[in-house]
């Protein structure tokens, strides 16, 4: 895996760029060496266009001039978008149907990484993860992951999947650090930790430096953006961390990918961690 992935959600939700720019952004990520693209069936305006982001990702991969065979596409099921709302359906029946629809939307025979998007309070967690286990056993998906999970759910998923839990995708950023326990558990278990919203989300990414002065100070010292420093800091926290910053323009994903080459000192990492 590349050290930085692409979170493709911004290309399909409200405020999204036009189709050509969306494809260009994904192509820019691939050109920069990104080999992990995160999507979901629910990344759309509403249920009338479920799979919009998956179709966009699939089209971009097929139209890219390079070799996409080593690119891991990670999608998710378990969210639904009635009238644009974010609601959950973690029933095994829904997850199986959602997986089949995602296979079609992406245009693949098996999904590289399939993730349970968010726990459904009305469905036992074991039943939802059990659906992923069955899809894994059937070869519909190559890897299974979970998202928005707590430590208890991570351990339960690992047990249900027979030690095959590949990843945990939780919110994590300078402003949102409540998933540190999950990050450390993933490190202990050897599971990839994929921070979503690592720059604070589309509306906050541009002001990482203004909200956290130390990130701006370290960025100035290295003559890079505060966003690069944020991602480099996350990479320094643990070898299992693979941030998936969102982007809607080629220039922003190119800047994010450059964070993989930024080396922070132990003192800088400590200062950033204490911010």
Q: What positions carry a catalytic annotation?
A: 43
The three-state secondary structure class of 115 is strand
What's the half-sphere exposure (Cβ side, CA atoms, 13 Å) at 273?
14
Decide: 61 and 102 in contact? Cβ < 8 Å.
no
What's the half-sphere exposure (Cβ side, CA atoms, 13 Å) at 11?
33
Q: Are strands 36-38 and 6-7 parallel, antiparallel or unpaired?
A: parallel
Instruction: Say how far apart CA 246 and CA 243 lie, in whole Å.
Output: 10
Joined tokens for residue 241: 């961390």
Phi-psi region of 64 (alpha: psi -120 to 50; beta: other; left: phi over 0): beta
Instruction: Say how far apart CA 200 and CA 192 lie, in whole Å.
Output: 20
* Start-end of H helices in the chain: 19-31, 52-63, 92-106, 125-137, 151-160, 180-189, 208-211, 213-222, 226-237, 250-257, 266-273
């Amino acid at each position: 895996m590349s050290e930085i992935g692409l979170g493709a959600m911004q290309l399909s939700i409200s405020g999204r760029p036009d189709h050509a720019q969306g494809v260009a952004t994904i192509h820019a990520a691939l050109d920069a060496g990104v080999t992990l693209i995160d999507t979901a069936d629910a990344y759309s305006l509403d249920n009338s266009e479920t799979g919009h982001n998956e179709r966009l990702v699939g089209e971009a991969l097929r139209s890219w001039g390079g070799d996409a065979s080593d690119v891991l596409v990670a999608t998710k099921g378990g969210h639904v978008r009635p009238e644009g709302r974010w609601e959950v359906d973690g029933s095994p029946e829904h997850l199986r149907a959602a997986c089949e629809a995602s296979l079609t939307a992406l245009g693949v025979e098996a999904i590289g990484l399939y993730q349970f998007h968010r726990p459904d309070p009305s469905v036992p967690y074991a039943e939802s993860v059990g659906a992923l286990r069955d899809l894994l056993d059937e070869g519909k998906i190559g890897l299974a992951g979970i998202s928005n999970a707590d430590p208890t759910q991570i351990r339960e998923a690992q047990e249900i999947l027979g030690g095959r839990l590949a990843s945990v995708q939780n919110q994590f950023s300078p402003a949102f650090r409540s998933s540190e326990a999950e990050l450390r558990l993933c490190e202990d278990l050897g599971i990839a930790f994929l921070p979503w919203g690592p720059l604070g989300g589309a509306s906050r990414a541009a002001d990482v430096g203004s909200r956290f002065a130390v990130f701006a100070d370290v960025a100035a010292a290295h003559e890079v953006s505060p966003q690069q420093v944020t991602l480099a800091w996350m990479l320094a926290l643990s070898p299992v961390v693979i941030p998936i910053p969102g982007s809607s323009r080629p220039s922003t994903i190119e800047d994010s990918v450059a964070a993989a080459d930024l080396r922070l000192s132990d003192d800088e990492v400590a200062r950033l961690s204490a911010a």
